[in-house]
Amino acid sequence: MKTWDWSYTGHVLPDLLRGLLVTLEATALGSVLAFLLGLVWALALRTPTRWVRWPVGAVVEFIRNTPLLVQLFFLFYVLPTAGITFSPLTTGVIGLGLHYSTYTAEVYRAGIDGVPVGQWEAATALSLPRRRTWIAVILPQAIRRVVPALGNYVIAMFKDTPMLAAITVLDMLKQAEEAGAESFRYTEPITVVGLLFVLIAYPTSLLMRALERRLGN
């Protein structure tokens, strides 16, 4: 077997980096969706009405306990039959955001539970309206303490974006695959993709750990 081919590596690198941009774009948009939807789930799971809590809880559990890849296929193949067509990237972002929102919901829940009871009591003693209590008192404190946990899920989501290749999104993995299919050499592109993931994910996770330590004390 031929050993590592540097000139071929240099040849595929621009395509891989273009794929990296798509990967980062999907991660960023997916994160925004996951942060917002997760908050919606977390708040819905605290409403007094069982008729909201129960179905939301069931849907969240279902999404969390089934594979993202299959959910992506579902969105990719089923939505068009219902007359809804998105670009593959948009479908991928929706899939990622929806899947990870079930995790961020749990993160928010823990964050909200972590706000001391005295804060609720003080808000009650001041007769602050429920809405105001959430917006001005509880959520600012809850979200602050969940930033590292949310960050860790962004990293996890980043590492899951290669799944979008399966629904034809031209991310890093898809670029590597196409390069490999063209030249019958997969070693270089896929190794580079793997290394790029570590190169980005590892420092980011170090950052989150540092943040965790700082906010933890």
Partner 1 sequence: MATDIPHQTTSETTAGGELVRFEKVTKRFGATTVLDRLDFTVSQGKHVTLIGPSGSGKTTILRLLMTLLTPDDGRILVDGQPLDAEVRKKIGMVFQQFNLFPNMRVLRNVTEAPVHVLGLSKDEAVERAKGLLEMVGLGGKLDAYPTQLSGGQQQRVAIARALAMRPQVLLLDEVTSALDPELVAGVLDVLRDIARSTDITMLCVTHEMNFARDISDRVLMFDEGRVIESGPPEQIFGAPEHERTREFLSAVH
Partner 2 sequence: MTTGLYELLFKGLWVTLQLTVFSAVLAALIAFAAGLARLSRFWIVRFVSGVYVEFFRGTSALVLMFWLFFALPLLGWQLAALWAGTLALGLSYGAYGSEVVRGAIRAVPAAQREAALALSFTPWQRMWLVILPQAVPEMVPPFCNLLIELLKGTALASVLGIGELAFGAQLVRLATGQSAQVYGIILVMYFVVAFLITRGMRLLERRAKASVGRVPQRDRTTAKRVPPGAVGPGVGTIGGGAR
Q: Is 160 in the site for partner 2 (CB under 8 A)?
A: yes
137 binds, among partner 2, partner 1, none (CB under 5 to 8 A by kind): partner 1
Segment contacting partner 2 by CB under 8 A, of 24-32, 67-75, 87-95, 208-216 = 67-75
What distance in Å separates the CA atoms of residue 95 and residue 168, rounded to the nearest whole number? 14
168 binds, among partner 1, partner 2, none (CB under 5 to 8 A by kind): none
What distance in Å separates the CA atoms of residue 126 and residue 120, rounded to the nearest whole number? 10
141 binds, among partner 2, partner 1, none (CB under 5 to 8 A by kind): partner 1
Cα 131–Cα 211–Cα 31 angle in degrees, nearest 5: 60
Residue 173 vs residues 99, 118, 162, 163, 179: alpha-carbon distances, Å: 20, 50, 6, 8, 10
Q: Is 140 in the site for partner 2 (CB under 8 A)?
A: no
Q: Smallest distance from the beta carbon of 159 to partner 2, in angstroms? A: 4
How crowded is residue 121: how many other Cβ atoms within 10 Å of its Cβ? 10
Q: Is 74 in the site for partner 2 (CB under 8 A)?
A: yes
Q: Contacting partner 2 (CB under 8 A), which of 96, 139, 154, 193?
A: 193
What distance in Å separates the CA atoms of residue 119 and residue 141, rounded to the nearest whole number? 10
DSSP state of 135: I
Q: Smallest distance from the beta carbon of 132 to partner 1, in angstroms? A: 5
62 binds, among partner 2, partner 1, none (CB under 5 to 8 A by kind): partner 2
